[in-house]
Amino acid sequence: MRKRFSACWKSAIVLSMMAGIGASSLAAGDSFDPLRKGAGENRVKLTSMERKPFDWSLLGELSDWKNGTAPSAATLDGKVVLIVTYSDWYRPAARALAIARKAAETYGADGLVVIAAHNPDGWKDAAKPEAPAGTTMLLAHDEKGNFRKSLLSVQDPNFYLVDRAGQLRFADIANESVEEAIQFLVSEKRDDAANINQRAADARRAREVQDSKTASLNNQNDLLRNLPELSFTAPTAQEYTDANWPKLPTDERGSTTSESHKITLPNAGWSPAQPPLTGRATLLYFWNPGIPASYEQMQRVADLMQRQHQRDLVVVGVLSDFTSLGSRDDKLTDEERAKKVLTPETALKRIQEFQTARRYDHAMVVDLSGSVLKTVTSESEIPLPYVAVVSSDGMTRWWGFIGSPQARGALDRVLEVDPGIQARRKAESEYLRNVKGGEAVSQPAGQTSNPPKK
């Protein structure tokens, strides 16, 4: 049956449920870090533009201003400026203008100015809504596309935010991060915005001092992170059967006909490399670079989960073929459309682009055949982002929408009761006791860490 995928992202639920996201995940010297779009070299360049003075002369590339005259550096001084590139004829980009207008209505009294730059094409016939009463929402025509080009805006819509100190604070952020980013910047004092880079530098120096004071603790942490793969007696099949696993997913009626399945991950197509799975649970999420809802916030959460459970859990992003969604009138360029038609080689390259631009710590693997996802579920429609929790014997123990109330509980339960995790922890504890005692550590002979076959 042809699979259909639906985007059902609920970021607030996911971020609060799936990980203890603290200040360590945020940029040094700042207290908000929005989700950014893009990957590869273009994303690296966009990030390098942040926290630097915005070039207001770029506004000279825009013409035919509506709802007011062209602004200047002087008129925008001390304001928070939301810039959106949009196209009235492209539905997703037209919706971005609605997001911008709502932002102007909500935060205009707090000093927010909205500048919406329309695509070179279609301006004459584009709807040109008035600004909400008492706000500044300016529309203009990027007739030659030079404004977009300067902002490295590849495809509408894209959002940019300039802070009260006139710095391009956030470049090309995801739609779902726009309002939260605005809330943060309008509440920020101008002096705090102006000193953001100095605070970041101070924070780095403070960390260096703290690191030097806690060298012994760091050494202990390094020892834990770099533990060798130890042999241990694998749990029996009966121990896995007897474990108090989480309840399997249920349908809308609260009943289930589903059952656990053995997951076999691909041998090839890993980046940076296939991680050790023995004695560990696995969290799989299924994504495709052409479907933002499958990865935009999921990958950041996945990375945090990997760091939080670095020894007990392996997080894997499974790049799957979602072309069964069907064709779309997406107005893509030939180059952009080609990126959606993936081969094993180009898919691996896309993974590496994401990992390079965003510095992810978790592993990813190419599975264009969709064999892993098909093993997890036979449903004809799944919500995105979609995950599967797999125990150390390779069996699925829960699967579904990551925003489900059962998602976090299922993962916690697996980490708690998995006999393979418990056996591996026991071996590691013994190893650490021997290391601390200065004893030579040898691997027990004749023991295996391979889980039993079902």
Asked if the model's pLDDT at residue 2 lies above 50, the reply is: no
Averaged pLDDT for residues 198-209: 77
Within 254-349, strands assigned E span 270-271, 281-287, 313-320
| Of 163, 28, 139, 164, residue with least CA distance to 86 | 139
Q: Which of 122, 143, 173 is the last residue of a domain?
A: 173
Which segment of 54-68, 210-224, 430-444 scores lowest on mean pLDDT? 210-224
Q: Give me the mean pLDDT over the 354-380 stretch.
A: 89
Query: Which tokens in the block code for residue 377?
Result: 């579920």
To 5 degrees, how large is the angle CA 221–CA 318–CA 372?
120
Mean pLDDT along residues 76-95 = 91
Give the confidence band of 390 by pLDDT, cuts at 50, 70, 90: very high
Structure tokens at 291: 């479907």
| Cβ 156 vs Cβ 86: under 8 Å | yes
153 and 247 both lie in a single domain: no
Q: What pLDDT score was predicted for residue 364?
A: 97
Q: How high is the pLDDT of residue 100?
A: 94
**Predicted local distance difference test score (pLDDT) of residue 26:** 37
274 and 399 in one domain? yes
The answer to the question of residue 184 being in a domain is no
Q: Which residue has the tokens 């995105």?
A: 384
What the block records as the tokens of 388 is 């599967």
Q: Residue 277 falls within a domain, yes or no?
A: yes
Residues 288 and 431 in one domain: yes
Give tens-digit pLDDT for 259-279: 899 999 999 999 999 999 999
pLDDT greater at residue 436 or residue 3: 436
| pLDDT attached to residue 334 | 52
Measured between alpha carbons, how far is 413 from 247 in angstroms, rounded to an integer? Answer: 10
* Residues 239, 335 within the same domain: yes
Residue 22 lies in a domain: no
Q: Do 422 and 273 belong to one domain?
A: yes
Classify residue 169: in a domain, yes or no.
yes
Q: Are residues 94 and 240 in the same domain?
A: no
Q: What is the mean pLDDT of residues 178-202?
A: 90
Which token pair is 305?
A: 């989960």
- In angstroms, the Cα distances linking 293 to 9, 18, 170, 384 are 7, 17, 20, 6
Bridge partners (DSSP) of residue 167 are 53
What is the band of 24 on the pLDDT scale with cuts at 50, 70, 90?
A: very low
Looking at residue 159, what is its pLDDT?
Answer: 96
Per the structure, how many domains does the chain have?
Answer: 2
Rounded distance, CA 19 to CA 297, Å? 12
- Shared domain for 161 and 250, answered yes or no, is no
Same domain, 250 and 382: yes
pLDDT higher than threshold 60 for residue 61: yes
Q: What is the pLDDT of residue 321?
A: 84
Quick one: pLDDT at residue 187? 93
Rounded CA gap, 108 and 98, in Å?
Answer: 15
In a domain, 451, yes or no: no
Same domain, 251 and 397: yes
Domain that holds residue 239: 235-436
Same structural domain, 329 and 242: yes
Is 248 found in the same domain as 136? Answer: no
Average pLDDT over residues 378-385: 83
* Residue 23 pLDDT exceeds 50: no
Q: pLDDT higher for 176 or 411? A: 411
Say what the pTM is.
Answer: 0.56
Q: What is the pLDDT of residues 108-135, one digit of tens each?
A: 999 999 999 999 999 999 989 999 999 9
Percent of the chain having pLDDT more than 70?
79
What Rg value do the Cα atoms of the chain yield, rounded?
25
What is Dmax (Cα atoms) for the chain?
A: 80
State whether 137 and 252 are in the same domain. Answer: no
Q: Are the beta carbons of 78 and 190 closer than 8 angstroms?
A: yes
- Residue 25 — pLDDT band, cuts 50, 70, 90? very low
Q: Quick one: DSSP state of residue 158?
A: E
- Residue 331's pLDDT is 53
Confidence of residue 404 (pLDDT cuts 50, 70, 90): confident
- Provide the pLDDT for residue 99: 92
Taking Cα atoms as reference points, which of 158, 147, 102, 98 lies closest to residue 127? 98
Q: How far apart are CA 322 and CA 367, in angstroms?
A: 11
Nearest to 115 by CA among 172, 160, 169, 181: 160
* Residue 27 confidence class, pLDDT cut points 50, 70, 90: very low
Q: What CATH number does the domain containing 79 carry?
A: 3.40.30.10
* Strand residues in 370-427 grouped as ranges (E): 381-384, 386-390, 396-401
pLDDT (0 to 100) of residue 248: 92
Q: Which residues contact 422 (CB under 8 A, 6 or more apart)?
A: 235
DSSP structure string for 161-217: EE-TTSEEEEEEE-GGGHHHHHHHHHHS-HHHHHTHHHHHHHHHHHHHHHHHHTHHH
